[in-house]
Structure 1
Amino acid sequence: MEIRQATYQDVEGIIKLQLEVAEYHRKLDSVYKFQDDIAEQFRIYVTSLINNEKSAVFIAFAKEEIVGYGIAAIIDENPLFKYPKYAMIEEMGISENFRSKGCGQMLLESIFNWLHLHEVEDVRLKVHNRNKGGINFWEKVGFKTEMYNMKMSLNKR
C-alpha cells in the first residue's frame, strides 16, 4: 500500500470509494441524507481541494486501486485565541477490505506531515457517536474528546 497526494486524475477513484463510505454512514444513522447527485457534488468538492494551499487530499492505493482517502483543511481560528489556525480532518474513508490494516494510520501520518509543514499545531475532527469503529480508531491514534457537537432539528420542535 502506498500513500500520496491526490491529483485531478484520482478524483473518479475517490468518488467511487466515497460512495461506499456514504452508504456505510447512511446505514449508521438516518441523519445521513445525501443529495441525489452526491457523486457530482463530491466531485466538485474534491476538485476544489486539490492544489488548494489550505487543504490536502491524500489517497492510499494498492494494486493501482484507491482504497483510502483523507482530506484535511487548515482553518483560520477566531483571532481571540492564542493559536491563529488549526486543521480539520474533513473526511477519512477506507475501503471495507482495508480497514484495520494500517491504511488509516498511513493516511493520517501523511496528513500530519503536511500539517507540520504548514506549522499547524492542533487537529480536530468530527465522528458520529454511533461510529464505534471510527471512534476507536481516532482514540487509538491519540485524539481525545474535547467538545460535544450538538444538534437540534427545528422541524421537530
Structure 2
Amino acid sequence: MNENIKDIVIRPAVNADLPRLAEFLQFLVNAERPFDPTLKEGEIFYYSIQELILDNKTEVLVIECKGQLVGCGYAQIREAKPYQKHELFGYLGFMYVDPEFRGKGLNGLLINELNKWVLSQGISEVRLDVYYDNEAAVNAYKKAGFKAILTTMRCDISETDNE
C-alpha cells in the first residue's frame, strides 16, 4: 500500500461528508452504466445518503486518507424473505473506492468494518448486489468471502426477433 495504513481511517459518515458522498454516488452510477442499459441518463440518486446516515438500521462508513475522503459503503439491516432461514440480514451497498486508491486493500478493510457492525446487531448473514459483468467488483467480493447465489437476467423483448 503506498499510503501508510496509519494514514487510513474508517469512520461513520457525518453530514459534513455529504457533498463528497454525493460525488461518489455519481461516480458509482457512471461506473455502472456500461453494465446496465436500463439506467436513465443524467444524475441518478439510488437513495438519500443523508437518510441512510440518520437511519438506525444503517451504518454508513467512509474511508479517509490524510483527511481526504477516498471511499465509502454502508451496511443495512433488512428483512429476509419469509421462506429464508434467517429473519434479518445485513445488506452492503454504496461500495466505492476512489480509482487511485484501488488495489490497496481498502475495500477489504471497509467490508471488515461493515461486517463487524452487522455482527454487533446479532446478524451473520450478509448480502450485496453486483453486476455480473463487473469482473473487478465480482473478484473483490469473492476475495472478501462472498459467493454468487442468484443471477438476475433481463430481456428487452422489443429488440428480440419474434420469428
TM-score class, shorter: 0.7 to 0.9
TM-score normalised by structure 1 residue count: 0.86
C-alpha offsets along residues 14-57 of structure 1, whole Å, 9 cap, x if unaligned? Answer: 1122222322222x33526245343xx36x61111113111111
Q: How many residues align?
A: 153
Aligned residue number for residue 59 of structure 1:
62
Gaps of 5+ in 1: none
- Distance, in Å, in 2 between the alignment partners of 1:81 and 1:16 is 36
1:98 maps to what in 2?
101
Q: CA RMSD in A?
A: 2.0
Structure having the larger proportion of residues in helix: 1
Q: 2:90 aligns with which of 87, 91, 97?
A: 87
- Residue equivalent to 1:144: 147
Residues 1-157 of structure 1: pairs in structure 2 closer than 5 A: 1-26=8-33, 28-31=34-37, 33-34=39-40, 36-38=42-44, 41=45, 45-153=48-156, 155-156=158-159
Identity rate, percent:
24
Q: What TM-score do the two structures reach when normalised by structure 2?
A: 0.83
Question: Secondary structure in 2 aligned to 1:13?
Answer: helix
Structure whose alpha-carbon radius of gyration is higher: 2
Long gaps (5+) in structure 2: 1-7
- In 1, Cα distance between equivalents of 2:134 and 2:84: 31
Supply the distance in 1 between the matched residues of 2:26 and 2:50 (Cα, whole angstroms): 16
